[in-house]
Amino acid sequence: MIGSIVHLSDTHFGGEADLSMIVAIENLIPDLEPTATVVSGDLTVRARHGELQAAAAFVRELERTAPVVVIPGNHDVQWWWRPLLPFSAALKYRKYCTYFGPDATPTLSLPEVFIASAVTAHGVAWGSLTLQPRDIAVKGHLPANEIQRVAELFHQADPAQLRVLVLHHNVLPGELSRRMGLARWKRAQQRIVESGAELVLCGHDHQESIGQLGDKVVVSCTGTCSTRSRGDRPSVFHKIGWDAESIQIEQYRWDGERRRFIRADVYVFARQSEVHAARVSARAS
C-alpha cells in the first residue's frame, strides 16, 4: 500500500462520547501508522466550550501520530446565530474555529494523498430545507460553489496523489435510517462524481456504510464513536489504504467485552473503475 487514512466521525463529546472508545482509539492509532487521520464532523453535542475543548484535546493526541483533518458537523454549528440570513455566515462557525483554526474547510497535501474538505453543515439554510420538520438544522447541503472550489483544488493536485473529499453528511442512504444526509442528494452526488474525487469520507448517520457513486467514487461512511450507534450496533471506524490500482477499506468494530476495536471486514475497490465486488473476511486482531 502507498498510504492509509484512519477515518473517524461523530465523537459527540459532551455526554454522548464513549470515553472507553476514545481511549481505545488513542492507544490503537500509533499501531495503525496512518499517513493521515480524518475526523468528519460532529465532534460535539451542542458546540459548548467544554465539549470543544475535549474534542480539541482528542485531536491533539491524534496529531502525535499523523496529520489530522477535521471539519464541523451539524452539531458543531451555532446555526441559531444566523437562521436563513444571507450575511455573517462566519458567526455560525466562530466558536468551532476558535478551537480548530480559522479554516472550516482545511486541505492537506502529502506526496501520497490530497485531502480537500467541503462544508455541508449550514444549520438552517435555504439549500438544506425540506418538507420534513425533523430535518431542520439536521440535513446538509452541498452548494455548487463549494464543490467547484474543491474541483479546482483536485485539478491542481499531482496525478499521483489520491484525491479525497471530506464531508460531514452521508452521501449514501443509511441501511437502518433509510435517509440521505444531504438535501437535494441526487444533484450533490453528481457534483461529487464530476469533482474529480476518488474517495469520499463522511459520517452523520451513526451507522457505517461503504459503496460507490457512479461506479467511480468510493464512499467511506464511518460510524460513531459515541453511545448513539444506530440500532445499538457496535461502533465502527474505518482505515483506508490504497495503491496505484485499488482502494481498500478495513472496518474496526468495537468489542465491548474486551473494550477494544477489532479488525473486521475488508472491502476492495478498483481505482476509477467498477468495484471488484470483493468483500473478504479479515483475521481478527
Ranking 44-48, 77-81, 101-105 by mean pLDDT, the lowest is 77-81
In sequence order, what are the residues at sequence separation of 6 or more whose Cβ sits closer than 8 angstroms to the Cβ of residue 140?
74, 120, 121, 122, 128, 167, 168, 169, 181, 182, 183, 204
SS3 content of the chain, % helix, strand, coil (to 5): 25, 30, 45
> How would residue 1 be classed by pLDDT, with cut points 50, 70 and 90?
confident
In this prediction, residue 285 carries a pLDDT of 33
In this prediction, residue 277 carries a pLDDT of 33
Q: Of 82, 64, 213, whose CA–CA distance to 137 is shortest?
A: 82
Q: pLDDT tens-digit profile of 195-251?
A: 999 999 999 999 999 999 988 999 999 999 999 999 999 999 999 999 999 999 999
Q: pLDDT tens-digit profile of 8-38?
A: 999 999 989 999 999 999 999 999 999 999 9
In this prediction, residue 122 carries a pLDDT of 86
Fold of 3-281: Purple Acid Phosphatase; chain A, domain 2 (3.60.21)
Task: Share the mean pLDDT of the chain.
Answer: 90
In this prediction, residue 78 carries a pLDDT of 84
Q: Residue 140: in which H helix or E strand, if any?
A: none
Q: pLDDT tens-digit profile of 165-174?
A: 999 999 999 9
In this prediction, residue 29 carries a pLDDT of 98
Q: Looking at the predicted structure, is the pLDDT value of residue 85 above 60?
A: no
- The Cα–Cα gap between 221 and 95 comes to 26
In this prediction, residue 184 carries a pLDDT of 86
- The Cα–Cα gap between 101 and 109 comes to 17
- The Cα–Cα gap between 201 and 45 comes to 21
Q: Looking at the predicted structure, is the pLDDT value of residue 276 above 60?
A: no
Average of pLDDT values for 255-262?
Answer: 96
Q: Looking at the predicted structure, is the pLDDT value of residue 39 above 70?
A: yes
pTM above 0.85, yes or no: yes
Q: Looking at the predicted structure, is the pLDDT value of residue 138 above 50?
A: yes
